[in-house]
Structure 1
Amino acid sequence: MTTEEGRQDRGTDREDGDFEEYADLGATTENAMDIAETSMDRVRKLVPDETLADRIRQKSVHATGDPEFQHLVRFTGETAEEPVVAGARAVLEERPIVTDITMVKAGITGRGHDCPVEKAIGNGAELAARTGMTRTAASVLELDRRGVYDGAIAVVGNAPTAALALADCIEDGTRPAVVVATPVGFVKAAESRKRLRDVAGEHGVPAITNVGRRGGSGLAAGLTNELVHVASDARSGEVDLP
């Protein structure tokens, strides 16, 4: 028997019920919904569940699998709730969601909103080649030149240079509706988020970031998705947006 024949035989012998353990973790099937809800129930036992900011902290723990990450999240605004409210309102207003790279875009949920979702990477190639700056920084600057970031949900999940470029754009007058920035790494990651926090605070742009070296695309997508979930709850009347 060939290897391929063996695979076919094993597949033929299985019944539909034998595949339940592989149920989609994207929370669209009944089994997956149970898994997702059980996971969040466990997170709520580890993280306070009183405010909209707590929902972002919970999602950070859910996305990283680390209860301590709740203490690394930072909110830029007059209150911790301000960037959450600003993000939810932007979702309700169907503002664009603009990510730095493809991986973050792929993690943005397609349910619960009608926001156009686009990525920066792939733009600004000529600028990158001419100046030697990173492709992600050039991409952010190119989209900003087109006015894409004004009023948008600006998401940076991977590249510190994208966060630094976005900070420069805000300093020069660009006003996103909200910024979610969790670039990861050992070179300029923490520094880029601090600069973004400082600039956002100075110019009144609500932002959600974190401290330390950790972060990443999955975290940025998860936090952005929680803004979508807050907006959905506001739409259904379960949440009042101040």
Structure 2
Amino acid sequence: MTFETDLRPPRRHYEYVGRGAAIYRDSFATIRREADLSSVPAEAERLAVRMIHGSGQVDLTDDLLIDPRLVPRARAALEAGAPILCDATMVVRGVTRSRLPVDNDVLCLLEDPRVPDLADRWGTTRSAAAVSLWEPRLEGAVVAIGNAPTALFHLLEMLVDGAPRPAAIVGCPVGFIGAAESKQALADLATDHGIDIPFVTVRGRRGGSAMTSSALNAIAQEEE
């Protein structure tokens, strides 16, 4: 007899929902019951719900900044085959591949062998250096930054210097040093530099890979 056929679940000592589909259904119902979605653009309501789901914070809408064009523009880009360029492997891992419309590439270039030397020479993080390697695929891509504020700053500096423009930016780096400032710079990009790219971000220190990949999953497919 094999080990697998010997496997048995433990006895239930707690009352909880065990089926994945039911957990998702009840979670989204709870979010819609508890969160104030009145300030969210209609096209982005499912996006906000999934970002709340990824963070566990129903007050997230207080700090969300969502361009009304973000979801339709980013979804159209994905349907046309655009890649998703990520600053962290955790963001890549959080993307549900079955939701992608055309088996889009989901890339993180942190492990590229050129990155350590670039970061050292430029005096920046590896996450930021890896963003420069996006340039050949940046035009029309969907960008997702959920970990490193330096990556978002670096991307914005590239754009100001004339780099190809992505279709949309999910910019939600997390942390205490530079996170709030990088996201404010993203929000001010059109005003300060005339570079008008649809984006979603969250004010302040909150953010992270789970929140960012949740946003990508909502963009990739309308079904909640």
Under TM normalisation by the shorter chain, which class is it? 0.7 to 0.9
Moved more, 183-192 or 111-120: 111-120
Residue 138 of structure 1: aligned partner: 129
In structure 1, the partner of 2:177 is: 187
The answer to whether 1:122 aligns with 2:111 is yes
2:31 is the counterpart of 1:43? yes
Deviations 1:22-43 (A, max 9, x none): 96xxxxxxx2111111111111
Q: Aligned AA for 2:94?
A: G
Q: Does 1:57 align with 2:36?
A: no
> What SS does the aligned partner of 1:187 have?
coil
Identity of aligned residues (%): 31
Aligned counterparts of 1:39 and 1:105: Cα–Cα separation in 2 = 23
**RMSD of the alignment, in Å?**
2.6
How far did residue 108 of structure 1 move?
A: 0.8
Partner of 1:70: 61
Paired residues of 1:95 and 1:152 also in contact (CA < 8 A): yes
Per-residue deviation, residues 133-191 of structure 1 (Å, max 9, x unmatched): 110111001222xx221110000000000000111122122210100011000100000
What are structure 1's unaligned runs of at least 5 residues?
1-7, 24-30, 234-242
Aligned length: 209
Instruction: Return the letter of the residue paired with 1:190.
Output: A
The letter of the residue matching 2:165 is R
More helix by share: 1
Q: What's the TM-score once normalised by structure 1's chain length?
A: 0.78
Task: Give the counterpart of 1:211 among 193, 196, 203.
Answer: 203
Q: Distance in 1 between matches of 2:7 and 2:68?
A: 54
Rounded to whole Å, the distance in 2 between the matches of 1:221 and 1:125 is 25
Could you say which structure has the larger radius of gyration?
1
Tell me the residue number matched to 2:78: 91
Report the Cα distance in structure 2 between the residues aligned to 1:142 and 1:185, rounded to whole angstroms: 24
Is the CA contact (8 Å cut-off) linking 2:85 and 2:108 kept in structure 1?
yes
Q: 1:206 to 1:15 in 2, by over 3 A?
A: closer
Unaligned stretches of 5+ in structure 2? none
- Higher relative contact order (CA closer than 8 Å, sequence separation 6+): 2
Structure 1 runs (4+) deviating above 4 angstroms are 15-18
TM-score normalised by the chain length of structure 2: 0.84
Q: Deviations over 1:75-116 (max 9, x none)?
A: 2xxxx4201111111121121001001111100111122211
